[in-house]
Amino acid sequence: MKLQVSEGVTLHRRESLIIFDEVRLYPKARQMIKHLVADRRFDYIETGSLISIMTSAENILIPSEEIRIRMHPMDFEEFLWAMGDAVTAPFIKDRFENSTPLGNPMHRSVMSKYREYMIVGGMPQAVSAYLDGKDLGRTDRVKRGILDLYRSDFSKISSRTGAKAEDIFRKIPSMLSRANRVFSPGSIKKGSRTREYVDSVARLEGSMAVNVCRLCTDPDVAMNLYLNDGVFKCYMADTGLLITQSFLANVATPDEVYRSLLFDRLSVNKGMFFENMVAQELTYNGHGLAFSAFKNGSGKKYEVDFLIVEGKKILPIEVKSSVSRKHASLDAFIEKYRRRRQGNLPAGPGRRQPLFPIVRFRGVPRGARRNRPRAQPCRHQPRHPLPFGGHRADAAFRPLGHRRSGR
C-alpha cells in the first residue's frame, strides 16, 4: 500500500509486475524476494549486471524462487525486426529449408545487412542509437560506453581476479587476430601460466561478457566429459563490441571508418570477426562451444573451429575465408572420427549422403572480376542461404569426401 501511495499508482493483484532494476545496489531486496513471491499478489523481475550481481550476493541468501533468464545480444533476425524488416528473415528461412539459392542480387543485399548487423552488434542500446540516424560513429560511442561499464564491473571483483579478468577482456582482439587463437597467458604477462587465469576466465564466462570455446580431447556426444579447461579460446559475447574494442586505440572511430568496413574497403582481419560471430550465434542457439585439435596417422596437426552435438552425432564446423578452396582439417577429422560424424540428409531417391558444414563468408562470386564490390557469400552445391533457427551462419553443405571437379 505504501508503494502505491508514494508512486500514485494502483497495483492489481496477479496483474501487476514490479521490477527491481539494478538489484545489485540493494542485495537485501533480492533476499526479500522469497517472501514477496510467497505473498503471491504480484510478479517480480530483477535486473542488473551479472558480474555486479555475483559480487553483491556474497553476504546474502539467494532465494530458490529465482528463475534465471540468460539474456543474449540481439541476433540477426531480431536486428532486422528492429530495423523494421520483417520480410528478409522468413524469406531466407524458406529458401534454406527448400535448398533454394537466393540469387546474386539477394545475396548481396543480405550480406550487406549482415555486415551492418555485425558492425552495430546486438546490444539493445547500440541498436537503438543506430536507429536514430544510422550514424555508426555515434553508435561507436555508445558501444565504448558499454565497454567502460564492463571494465567498471571487473573492478568490483576481488582485486587479483578482477585485474586479470580485465586484462583478458582487453586482449581478446589481439588473441583472435592470430593464426593460433588459443588463449596464451604469455600475451598478457610474460612467464605466466594458464592456471593463473582460470578463475578470471570463469568469471568472464559466468558474466556472459565472453564465450569460451574449450578443447574437446575426444569428440563424443557426451562432449562435456572430454573438455580441457586448460586449453580454450575466448570470444566476445557481442561481435559489435569486439569490433569497437579492436579500434579502441583511436580516440574515436569516425563514421567513415565503419562505412569502409561495412562496404569491405578496409584492410583488417575480418576473419576473426566472422569466427566470433559464429561463436556468438552458436551460443545464442544454446550450443556449448568446443573445438578439436588432433593429429592424423602421420602425426600432422589439424584443428576444427567448432564442434556441436546434434542428437547422437557430432557436427564439426569450419569457418573459412573466401579465398580458401580446401578443407583439410574437416577431411582429416571425418577420416579419424568417421563413425561419429554428423547425420544424413537426402541426396536422391532411395539414397542418403552424409553432410558436414563449411561456414564461408565471401565477397566476389566465382568468375567475377576482382574489382567488383565484395558482397556475395561463397556457395558450393547444393547451395543454401543463411540459415535461421539453426546456426544462423552462412553455411555451405557438401557431401563427405566430395571434391570440386575441374578446380
Beta bridge partners, 310, equal: 313
pLDDT score of 58:
61
> Does residue 287 fall inside a structural domain?
yes
For helices 88-97 and 104-120, the axis angle rounded to 10 degrees is: 120
Q: What is the pLDDT confidence band of residue 60, given thresholds at 50, 70 and 90?
A: low
Residue 66 lies in a domain: no
Last residue of a domain, one of 28, 56, 84: 56
Q: What is the pLDDT of residue 68?
A: 79
Name the grid cell of 352. 542418403
Determine contact, residues 390/397, Cβ cutoff 8 Å.
no
The predicted model scores a pTM of 0.77
Q: Clarify whether residues 112 and 220 are in a common domain.
A: yes
Q: Which pLDDT band holds residue 119 (cuts at 50, 70, 90)?
A: very high
Distance set, CA 93 to CA 305, 360, 387 (Å)? 25, 18, 6
Residue 405 lies in a domain: no
**CA contacts within 13 A on the Cβ side of 169:** 29
Q: Is residue 215 part of a domain?
A: yes
Q: Mean pLDDT throughout 174-179?
A: 91
User: What percentage of the chain carries pLDDT values higher than 70?
Assistant: 75
Query: In terms of domains, do 207 and 136 share one?
Result: yes
At residue 212, the pLDDT reads 96
One domain for residues 8 and 141 = no
Instruction: Give the CA distances from residue 126 to residues 73, 134, 147, 317, 370, in Å, rounded to whole numbers and listed in that order.
Output: 10, 11, 11, 30, 34
Distances (CA, A) of 179 to 44, 197, 227, 405: 47, 22, 22, 29
Residue 296 reports pLDDT greater than 50: yes
Residue 267 lies in a domain: yes
- Please give the average per-residue pLDDT across 222-248, as a whole number: 92
Q: How many CA atoms lie within 13 A of 322 on its CB side?
A: 16
Name the residue among 144, 114, 47, 117 with its Cα closest to residue 362: 114
71 in a domain, yes or no? no
Region 30-53 average pLDDT: 76
Q: Is 317 exposed, middle or buried (0-12, 13-18, 19+ CB in 10 A)?
A: buried
Query: Residues 197, 319: one domain?
Result: yes
Given a cut of 90, whether residue 53 has pLDDT beyond it is no
Same domain, 164 and 258: yes
Higher pLDDT among residues 161 and 378, named by residue: 161
Q: Tell me, what's the pLDDT at 130?
A: 95
- Together in a domain, 169 and 36: no
Percent of the chain with pLDDT over 90: 31
Mean pLDDT of 41-63: 69
Shared domain check, 216 and 105: yes
Residue type, 230: G
Residue 376 confidence class, pLDDT cut points 50, 70, 90 = very low
According to the model, what pLDDT value does residue 358 have? Answer: 54
Q: Regarding predicted confidence, which is higher, 105 or 236?
A: 236
> Which residues, 6 or more positions from 370, have their beta carbon under 8 angstroms from its beta carbon?
364
What average pLDDT does this structure show over 160-186? 90
Indicate if 116 and 196 belong to the same structural domain: yes
Task: Tell me: do 145 and 11 sit in the same domain.
Answer: no
Q: Do 371 and 224 fall into the same domain?
A: yes
What is the residue range of 121's domain? 76-399
Nearest-angstrom CA–CA distance, 116 and 133: 14
Structural domains of the chain, count: 2
Cell (9 digits) for 147:
565497454
* Residue 260 placed within a domain: yes
Q: Are residues 8 and 109 in the same domain?
A: no
User: Three-state DSSP class for 156?
Assistant: coil
The mean pLDDT of the chain is 77
- Which residues have C-beta within 8 Å of that of residue 139, sequence separation ≥ 6? 120, 126, 129, 130, 258
185 and 37 both lie in a single domain = no
pLDDT of 75 reads 93
| Residue 69 falls inside a structural domain | no
* The pLDDT of residue 90 is above 70: yes
